[in-house]
Homo-oligomer: A and B are copies of this chain.
């Protein structure tokens, strides 16, 4: 039940993040481009995950609430667009909350489908980042996930924490809440204090 609602909230946040990103680009200013980018950002990760798991029907084809959540997010973007776009950090925040939620949902659903824990962590990461990768590719930017490796590391840390807590018999909802908070906190701290992983340095001059 917690996961069902979290999913709808994640959908809402990712739709806004996709719509805002597209809105900022000249050639996506029309309504269709903005909304379609928001839609694909929201459903991309979960759709790829379900297609990989063979979990048919994939969620947004059978549950109308997901489409409703996307519609609410569109209405929200339209109503508050002037206000939202003034806060440059908003996009990052919406992306971060979405990524935190999707990582844990991705791990949880993968484990339910009998995937081994290591692959479940990777599927959690893919669920979380694929929508954003579609979004950033459509607007012709280097995907955010590759821009600052700490973003992906935060997901992996949260996903590993979640599987570990489940293994230690911690209640699923408690484990999910702790792990999501961890991901979101790491990402926000990373931006605030400009944390980064070491570079992949080969010691040659072309670095």
Provide the residues of chain B in CB contact with A147, threshold 8 Å: 27
Known: A62-B119, A82-B204. 17 other contacts (CB 8 A): A28-B146, A28-B200, A29-B199, A29-B201, A30-B199, A31-B200, A32-B149, A32-B197, A33-B149, A36-B152, A61-B115, A61-B116, A61-B119, A61-B123, A67-B119, A67-B122, A138-B146
26 CB contacts below 8 A, A to B, read A24-B206, A27-B146, A29-B200, A29-B207, A31-B149, A31-B198, A33-B146, A36-B146, A36-B152, A39-B122, A47-B52, A51-B52, A52-B58, A52-B61, A53-B56, A53-B61, A57-B115, A60-B119, A61-B110, A61-B115, A61-B116, A64-B118, A67-B122, A85-B202, A85-B204, A86-B204
